[in-house]
Structures are given as C-alpha cells and as structure tokens.
C-alpha cells in the first residue's frame, strides 16, 4: 500500500464486555484475513493471544491486524475496555483517524464509552458506533440509540435498523440503500425490507436524510424545498459528514453470531483516511510544526505500543505520520538524539508478524530489536528532529511493595519490572530510598496482579506483594520558627552551618515556595541554594510518617557561617534539620487522596452500595439512571477503596463495575492519623532490622 488515501486506521474502543474482541475477530473473518472464527470463551481469538487474556477472558493490551478489502487497506486495533488496562486504548487513539465505538445494546452507554469518547472528541476523530449483542435477551436498539443520542448529541444517527429482536435478530435494514440484509451462517442475502419494518425504516431514513442535510448547504436547500435527493447526492454528503466527524453513524451487529458484521466495512470505508484530516502537529524545539501526510517528505513516525519479549527483546509498534519508513535505514530518536538502525519492518496480525515493504505516511507497522526505543518516542529520518508531545496517561491509583521470593533474584525482578513498565505506560516502577523496597504502582490490584503473572511466565521470576500503599502526603496547618544547626569537629577541616527559618502553610495545591530573606550576609549568597536543596530533600523524606511534604512556604531569615568550615553540604544538612524542626512545631497534618468514584450497578443493588460507601467514609453525590443500571457517584478516600473490587463483586453478584480517578487531597481524621504514623514507624523499624 503506497497511497495514504486508501488507508483506514480504526481503533475499536468501548467499555469492558461490549464484545470488541469478538467484533474484531468477525471483521477479520469476513475480510478473509483468517479462515476460522475464533471465540473469547475458547481463547482462540487473534487479538487475545496472551495467556493472561485467555485466563481472564478479557483484553489486557491492544491487538493489531491488517486487512485489505474493497481496494482499501484497513489497520484495525482491538483495545482493552477495562479501566485498569486503558493505556493501549489511549495510545491507539493517538494514531488513528476513526474510533469504532462498540456498545453492548443491553447496557447502552457505560463509563469508559464516555471517557474514551471525550479523548476521541479532543483529537477530532471520526466515530462510528456499533450496537453489538443485538441477539441478547433485553437488547433494545431504540432504547440504546436514545441513550447514545442523550450522551453524545443529535449527530448520532442510525444508518441501519435491526431485523428481529433479541434471539430473533437476523439482519439489518440499510437506510442508505433501503435494502434488507438477512444472514444465515454469516452469509448475507440482500432483498426487500420486511413489510412490518417498512414504516419504521421510512421514518428512520427521513431522520438520516435530515441529519445529513444539516451538514451540507446544497442538500439542506433541496430538503427544505422538498426536492428529490438522489442516492449519489445522499451517499456523497453522508460520506463527507462521517469523514469530518459531523455525523456519528450507528450500525447494528451480533459479533458472536457474525450477523451484519461484514456490512460494517461499508460504513468504515466512508471513514476518514490519513489525508482527509487536519495535519497533525509536532514540536521542533518550542515551535509547533505541521506534518504532511506525504510519502516523499522526510520520515516521521510515532511509537504508540511496545511489547517486551524476553527472547526477541522489544517490539515497537508505530504509525508513520510523514514520509516513508524503510527497512535497514537509520533513524534519529527525538527524545535524546541517539540513532538506531531499523531491521525488517513488520506487519502484525495478533501475535504473528510478517515482513513488510516500505511503510508510507498514514500506515502502521512494527520493528523488532531496537536498543532504546519506548512508547511515546518519535522516530525521524534526519537530525533536524521533531517530537510529539507526551501522551496523557492517568496516574497510578495504588502501589504495592514487591520482593523476590528467592534470594539473589532481586536484579531479575528489577529487570522484569523495567521491561514490563516500558510495555505498559500506566505501570509505574520506582525504588523507595527510605524503605529500600521496589514499589509498583498500577490502576488497581488486578492490574498489578497481571504484572506479577507476566513476570513469572515471561521472565521466570516470582515475587511477593505486600499490601497496597496509599500515597499519603504531609503538610502543616500552623506557622513556626526553628533553628537548623550542623556542627562537626573531628580534626582537620570541620563542618559548620547555622540556619533560621519560618514555615507556614500554603493553600492546598499551591505546592512549595522558598523565600530568601537573608540580609547583611548572615549566610553568603552562594550557600542559599544549598539550604533550599536541603529543605527539598527533607520534604521528600517527610517529618511525620515518612511521606512527602506538600503546600509549605519556607522563609530563610537568619543564620551563621564559618569562613573555613562552611560548605554546601553543611548548609544542606542544616537546612534539612531546620525544616523538620520547624514543621514538627507547626501543627503537622497528614493528607490522603480522595477519589471521584462512579459505580455502575443494577437498580436493586443501589441501597447496598450507598450503605457500603457510607461505611467507607464516602460522600455519596447522587445516582443517575443508565439503561437497566444506576450509576452511583461518590467521593471516597483511596485508603477505603483498596479492596473494593472483590467487595463489589460480592454485593452485586459480579454485575457491578466501578471507575475511580484522583480528585484532591484532604486531611486525614486525627484518630486515623495516629494509627498511620504508628504503622509507618513500625514499618521503618522492620526495614532497618532486615
């Protein structure tokens, strides 16, 4: 494929359990890319090939495939819908022109639909919606369509109507051609619209024409004058409206029964190509530059996914935004300017890959065994490199301390975690200097447990998880002054530094501010930065329970120095001592993260959920109906949500779901502060003993 206008980049997105992977599989099957229709339940799908995905029967990372159909080249990305594994969904939306939003028709719009829709909206992506699972009990297309329009606006318009309801769903009415497509064993028969659907189809077509006309002045004039609109005029205006994200067509399907899936390609063919959209922007230094989807320009590509393989090393999946990427060529990595030699460029189909020729602007591909390339890197053909802004991934919500089960395997643990964190940008790994522990931060307990399973299977190392760590913060509520003095005489040159400082609270969220009020040279100017450095180091270590200090103003107003014995290090130590001493007298307080929580549960469970949230120190904000469910909104301390997933499953029989994100920090109640400080001291003592 050397024509960007014939490429369609499509990311399948949606909430967990909407059938994205089954739809992806059926699309590949109907396009002839695979010869057998796999099943999520049997673990035989192309995209969910990882052992963890088969075991949990859910997508944990993006699956990619490439198919040719009708003279077009489709790059399809099956993305995870669980809130713990959204990294690949978020990254995939950076490299496609269209989001194929998959909806469970029984449940309608769910939490991740709204969040991923907002991401697609921000990027100006085209959106095609598929109401999936129309053969399920209680599947109601009209109700789901109403919920979609309520959530995403009047631009959402049906382009198909289902034939039959629930288990009798057998095909679709195409509102553009006004033909019926009925299915038997995945094969379509095209015919006239059933008599019982004729009136409904006529009404739905009028709504479609009205919606299309609102995007096209010439068509609008004809429509208002009640002049005939030809099929060619309607099709052209509809295609333009879909490509420019002015309309969001809704198609119908049952992916597992392979009903009407092939017809989705006809809608996706109308989606924008890489040349149809606004030129993407990158940064050259501080200046913003436009990239041109032209194969003849200098090559620029963006890495949006990384696979960590213990045998073949990294496999980087990328999108070419400008120029042409060729095998055995040299590229510059814009992050730090180092150069890499590309090997064979690949096209992926799930876990399989095959050699590809050159990749032109707009296309997706992969490359193996690059030495130092990670997700978010920009690859450029020459030294005059441009860089894409970083992808905005959510911050981890909880952390665990990880220790090797077998002594002597600590280095293997560190290597495995580093490799997996390069693959999963929402996984955070760092070493806690205070406790000496390796800390793994993730979006949920399940997220971290999956990481542990992958470490064992891929890298042969087993670890133990200690309980989740809540990222508390420390601060002060009052004003206090204190001296920080460091004096040491051990023969030879000594160490001397004396500081006086005042601390006072800053408004929540304003962070740290250091003010130098030294007059008369009490402390020479060249030592002032050392004092601030010492204060910042003390802030990292905390003074109450070992958590970082936030929202404090420090004023250095007096001190002493020695012309021989004073040094930067001495003033760093003195600054640290003075800061801790002042904070301990300034009404110290512990802050905890408060989460904005949305819990989606069946109507009959709402009372139990609200009662449980109240017991967790939560503030319930209200409930909102969503399909057959209710969404309970609340603000809850993170410390009370660490084990919420199994509790929610127990309360709802596995039918509940929740999403949470950080909202703000609030002061911990006094009776709990004492317990947290006491536990922190115990942990510190145990760490020193070991």
The superfamily in CATH containing domain 398-469 is Elongation Factor G (Translational Gtpase), domain 3 (3.30.70.870)
| N-to-C CA span, the chain | 60
644: Cβ–Cβ under 8 A, 6 or more apart, which residues? 616, 658
Virtual torsion, Cα 188, 190, 194, 195, nearest 10 deg:
180
Q: What percent of the chain has pLDDT over 90?
A: 59
- C-alpha span between 201 and 621 (Å, rounded): 41
Banded pLDDT at 390 (limits 50, 70, 90): confident
Banded pLDDT at 441 (limits 50, 70, 90): confident
On average, the pLDDT of the chain sits at 90
Domain pair 398-469 / 592-671, same fold = yes
DSSP string over 463-520: EEEPPPBP--EEEESS-EEEEEEEEE-SSSS-EEEEEEEEEEEPPTT---EEEE---T
Q: In terms of DSSP bridges, do strands 171-174 and 63-69 run parallel, antiparallel, or are they unpaired?
A: unpaired
514: Cβ–Cβ under 8 A, 6 or more apart, which residues? 532, 535, 554, 556
Options 2.60.120.10, 3.60.15.10, 2.40.30.10, 2.60.40.10; CATH of 281-380: 2.40.30.10
Return the number of other C-beta atoms located less than 10 Å from residue 197's C-beta.
16
**Average pLDDT of span 63-92:** 92
CB-CB contact of 623 with 631 (8 Å): yes
Choice between 244 and 646, residue whose per-residue pLDDT is larger: 244
Banded pLDDT at 667 (limits 50, 70, 90): very high
Q: Could you tell me if residue 654 is left (phi over 0), alpha (psi between -120 and 50 degrees) or otherwise beta?
A: left
**Average pLDDT of span 271-275:** 93
- C-alpha span between 426 and 428 (Å, rounded): 6
Fold of 4-268: Rossmann fold (3.40.50)
Banded pLDDT at 12 (limits 50, 70, 90): very high
CA distances from 78 to 66, 354, 424, 490, 542 (A): 11, 19, 16, 67, 44
Predicted pLDDT of residue 434 = 55
Predicted pLDDT of residue 360 = 95
CATH class given for the domain over 474-586:
alpha beta
Q: Residue 377 has what DSSP assignment?
A: -
Q: What is the pLDDT of residues 415-429, one digit of tens each?
A: 899 888 888 888 988
The answer to pTM > 0.85 is no
Q: What percent of the chain has pLDDT over 70?
A: 97
Position 433 pLDDT exceeds 70? no
Position 323 pLDDT exceeds 80? yes
Which of 274, 333, 340, 341 lies closest to 300 in space, CA to CA?
333
Banded pLDDT at 582 (limits 50, 70, 90): very high
Q: Could you tell me if residue 67 is left (phi over 0), alpha (psi between -120 and 50 degrees) or otherwise beta?
A: beta
Options 2.60.120.1440, 3.40.50.300, 3.30.70.240, 1.20.190.20; CATH of 592-671: 3.30.70.240
Q: What is the pLDDT of residues 197-231, one digit of tens each?
A: 999 999 999 999 999 999 988 888 888 888 888 88
Predicted pLDDT of residue 309 = 65
The domain limits of the chain are 4-268, 281-380, 398-469, 474-586, 592-671
193 phi, psi to nearest 5 deg: -70, 135
640 phi, psi to nearest 5 deg: -90, -5
Which of 607, 636, 640 lies closest to 621 in space, CA to CA?
636
Return the number of other C-beta atoms located less than 10 Å from residue 139's C-beta.
23
Position 462 pLDDT exceeds 90? yes
Return the number of other C-beta atoms located less than 10 Å from residue 294's C-beta.
15
CA distances from 679 to 402, 471, 539, 636, 683 (A): 18, 14, 20, 22, 6
């Amino acid at each position: 494929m050397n024509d960007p206008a014939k490429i369609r980049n499509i990311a399948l997105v949606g909430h967990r359990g909407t059938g994205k992977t089954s739809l992806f599989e059926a699309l590949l099957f109907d396009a002839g890319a695979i010869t057998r229709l796999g099943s999520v339940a049997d673990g035989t799908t192309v995209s969910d090939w990882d052992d963890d995905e088969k075991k949990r029967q859910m997508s944990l990372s993006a699956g990619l495939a490439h198919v040719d159909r009708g003279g077009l080249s489709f790059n399809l990305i099956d993305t995870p819908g669980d809130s713990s594994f959204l990294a690949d969904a978020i990254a995939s939306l950076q490299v496609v022109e269209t989001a194929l939003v998959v909806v469970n028709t029984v449940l309608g719009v769910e939490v991740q639909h709204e969040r991923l829709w907002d991401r697609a909206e921000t990027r100006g992506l085209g959106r095609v919606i598929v109401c999936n699972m129309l053969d399920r009990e209680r599947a109601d297309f009209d109700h789901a369509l109403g919920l979609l329009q309520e959530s995403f606006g009047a631009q959402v318009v049906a382009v198909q109507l289902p034939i039959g309801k629930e288990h009798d769903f057998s095909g679709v009415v195409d509102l553009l051609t006004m033909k019926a497509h009925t299915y038997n064993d995945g094969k379509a028969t095209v015919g006239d619209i059933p008599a019982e659907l004729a009136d409904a189809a006529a009404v739905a077509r009028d709504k479609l024409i009205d919606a299309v006309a609102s995007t096209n002045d010439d068509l609008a004039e004809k429509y208002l004058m009640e002049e005939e609109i030809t099929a060619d005029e309607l099709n052209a205006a509809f295609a333009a409206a879909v490509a420019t994200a002015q309309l969001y067509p809704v198609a119908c399907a049952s992916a597992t029964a392979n009903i009407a899936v092939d017809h989705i390609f006809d809608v996706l063919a109308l989606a924008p190509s890489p040349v149809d959209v606004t030129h993407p922007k990158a940064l050259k230094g501080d200046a913003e530059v436009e990239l041109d989807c032209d194969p003849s320009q200098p090559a620029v590509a963006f890495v949006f996914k990384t696979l960590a393989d213990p045998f073949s090393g990294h496999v980087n999946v990328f999108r070419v935004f400008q120029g042409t990427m060729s095998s055995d060529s040299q590229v510059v990595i814009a992050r730090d300017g180092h150069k890499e030699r590309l090997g064979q460029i690949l096209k992926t189909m799930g876990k399989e890959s095959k050699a590809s020729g050159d990749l032109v602007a707009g296309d997706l591909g992969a490359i193996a065994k690059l030495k130092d390339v990670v997700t978010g890197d920009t690859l450029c053909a020459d030294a005059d490199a441009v860089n894409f802004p970083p992808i905005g991934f959510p911050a981890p919500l909880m952390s665990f301390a990880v220790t090797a089960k077998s002594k002597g395997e600590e280095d293997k643990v560190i290597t495995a975690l580093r490799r997996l964190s390069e693959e999963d940008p929402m996984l955070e790994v760092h070493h806690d200097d205070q406790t000496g522990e390796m800390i793994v931060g993730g979006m949920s307990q399940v997220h971290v447990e999956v990481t542990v399973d992958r470490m064992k299977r891929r890298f042969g190392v087993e670890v133990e998880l200690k309980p989740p760590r809540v990222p508390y913060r420390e601060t002060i509520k009052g004003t206090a002054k204190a001296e920080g003095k460091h004096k040491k005489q051990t023969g030879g040159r000594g160490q001397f530094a004396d500081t006086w400082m005042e601390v006072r609270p800053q408004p929540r969220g304003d962070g740290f501010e250091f003010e130098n009020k030294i007059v008369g040279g009490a402390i020479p100017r060249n030592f002032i930065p050392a004092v601030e450095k010492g204060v910042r180091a003390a802030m990292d270590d905390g003074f109450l329970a070992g958590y970082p200090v936030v929202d404090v103003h420090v004023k250095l107003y007096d001190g002493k120095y020695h012309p021989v014995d004073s040094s930067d290090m001495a003033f760093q130590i003195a600054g640290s001592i003075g800061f801790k001493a002042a904070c301990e007298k300034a009404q110290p307080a512990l802050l905890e993260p408060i989460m904005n929580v949305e819990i989606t549960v069946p109507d009959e469970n709402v009372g139990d959920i609200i009662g449980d949230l109240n017991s967790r120190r939560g503030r319930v904000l209200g409930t909102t109906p969503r399909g057959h469910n209710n969404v309970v909104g609340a603000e809850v301390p993170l410390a009370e949500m660490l084990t919420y997933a199994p509790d929610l499953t127990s309360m709802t029989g596995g039918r509940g779901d929740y999403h949470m994100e950080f909202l703000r920090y609030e002061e911990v109640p006094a009776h709990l502060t004492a317990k947290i400080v006491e536990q922190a001291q115990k942990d510190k003592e145990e760490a020193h003993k070991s």
